[in-house]
Amino acid sequence: MPRPHKCRFVGGAPGVSHFKPAGVPGQNLVTVELHLDELEALRLADLEGLYQEQAAGAMGISRATFGRVLDRAHQKVADALINGKILSVRGGHVATPMIRQYNCGTGVDNFPVPTGGGVGGFGRGRRGRRHGRGPGPG
């Protein structure tokens, strides 16, 4: 049985989830699924310009894993662009910060809260313990 995936931290879900070639009906196109962790790797490395070590730390994964995630993301995006496919952004074992609103007297401000909530497995695992192994903390 393979080892469970480690939850990967991402800055948040994108505002747009599908990209497709213009002028071609979507029903005639193949879809490539880009996971949220792969999109985050692209954002950190290519848009923010972080080194892989820094970006891996931000996502809570090893540098080697970050490199593999980034390679998969580059391959999927290139496939969609070159072969005229729909690029769908969703899924993956990721955790996003919850956004809470606070009224500070000068208006409503949004602040990311690093704990709680998330997408696809954020938290203490399926059995209430970290990845279902061991007795867990105290």
Question: DSSP string covering 93-113, please?
Answer: SEE--EEEEEE-SSSEEEEEE
- DSSP 3-state assignment of 32? strand
> Per-residue confidence of the chain (138 residues) as pLDDT tens digits?
777 766 776 776 677 888 999 988 888 899 999 988 899 999 999 999 999 999 999 888 899 999 999 999 999 999 999 999 999 988 766 666 654 444 455 554 444 444 444 444 333 333 333 444 444 454
- Output the CA torsion sign for 114, 115, 119, 125: positive
CA-to-CA distance for 138 and 91, rounded, in angstroms? 32
Q: Which fold has domain 8-13+29-119?
A: Arc Repressor Mutant, subunit A (1.10.10)
Global pTM reads: 0.65
